[in-house]
Every structure is written in C-alpha cells, then in structure tokens.
Structure 1
Amino acid sequence: MQSSHNIQQANVARASGLLKAISNKTRLSIVCLLAENEMSVGELLDVIPLSQSAMSQHLALLRRGKIVKTRRQAQSIIYSLSSSEAKTIVATVHKLFCDDEN
C-alpha cells in the first residue's frame, strides 16, 4: 500500500509535468485552441505561425505528456485534448485572462 506522501508526490509530479508542458507560449496557444475544437496540424498552422517541424515537436511533447491525443481522419491526423486536468486549467486560464469582462 502506498503512503499518502507517495501518492501526494505522484500527484505533484503529474501537476508539475502538465504545468511545465503548457508554460511555453506556443504550447499554451495550442492547448487553448484544442480546448475549443479538435484540429489538424494544418489548421493549427493556419493560426500559429510556425514551421511544420516546430509544430510537430510541440505536439509530440504534448502527446508524451498525455495532454493531447490523436485520431486519423482520411490522410490527416486530428488532435484534441485528452487530459481532463488540462481542460480544467485551460478553462480557468481562459476565464482569468481571456473573458471580455477582464
């Protein structure tokens, strides 16, 4: 049986990993866009001016962190948020910084 300290440390590590992944402006932008709609790499590139290679690297990091997931649609890979924690954090950030009332 795990001690509560070990469980707490595991949760701290998960939270730290999520916050580290979205602390980058580009990755935060990607996660914010995906919170609204699932998107392909091409659709993300239409909004975020990056090379396809740079976008793929950011998306790979988010996938490794289990923040985004993919599905294939014809020849496109569609990205969406997979982490309920990321969805909650993005909703909170949006409310604090993006609502018209602020």
Structure 2
Amino acid sequence: MRDDPGSVFNEPALFLQALANGRRLHVLTLLNQAEWDVTSLAAAVGLSQSALSQHLAKLKAAGLVTIRREAQTIWYRCNSKAVNDILMLLALKFHVPADTSEAA
C-alpha cells in the first residue's frame, strides 16, 4: 500500500491554519519581535487572557511559539523563521504591520 501523496502537505496545512486568523497574526507579529507574558500580550492585542490562551495553544500546537517558565510567569516567543518570512510577505502584499512599532 502506498502512502498518501497528499500527506506531505499536512504540515504546511497545519502551519497555514495556525496563521488563518487575524488575532493570531497580530499575536505572532508581537511574539516575533519579543518575548511576552500572557497578561501583557492580552492587553496589547485586546483579548481576554482566556481567549488569548486558546490562540496561543493553537500556535504552540503548530510549533510556532515556545514557552519559558520563570517562577509563576510563562513567557511566549515566536520560534519560526518561516513566520518572520510570512509576516514580511503580508506586510508587502497587504500593507499590514510587520513589527510591533507599526502594530501599536
């Protein structure tokens, strides 16, 4: 039995699904520039901590963010050069902010 030739697209599809939300793109734009804790990040993107946690879980499941624990604080950061490349492409194509100074 042959492997499904379309299965090679599963990982890219997961990556694109994680990006297919305006709020998550905003979150990734910020996380691509610096490490953030949930409280500060929620305030910056205008989401409740609960809603942000759901978005962060999807980004983490797609391997796009990493976490670092420091005492009671969890810090998040983008860990994908591919995300940086996509954000730059979106900035050029759609004139959206590619960094935090433009997103603020």
Same fold (TM over 0.5): yes
Uncovered stretches (5+) of structure 2, i.e. residues with no partner:
98-104
What stretches of structure 1 move > 6 A for 4+ residues in a row?
none
TM-score (norm 2): 0.77
Q: How big is each residue's C-alpha offset from its partner over 1:70-95, in whole Å with a ceiling of 9 and x where there is no partner?
A: 00123211100122212221232234
Tell me the C-alpha RMSD between the 2 structures: 2.2
TM-score (norm 1): 0.79
Identity among equivalent pairs (%): 32
Say which of 12, 34, 37 aligns to 2:34: 37
Equivalent pairs counted in the alignment come to 95
Task: Measure, in 2, the Cα distance between the counterparts of 1:29 and 1:52.
Answer: 15
Say which of 74, 84, 88 aligns to 1:87: 84
Say which of 34, 58, 72 aligns to 1:61: 58
Residues 67, 86 of structure 1: 8 Å contact kept: yes
Task: Work out whether 1:70 is the aligned partner of 2:67.
Answer: yes
Uncovered stretches (5+) of structure 1, i.e. residues with no partner:
none
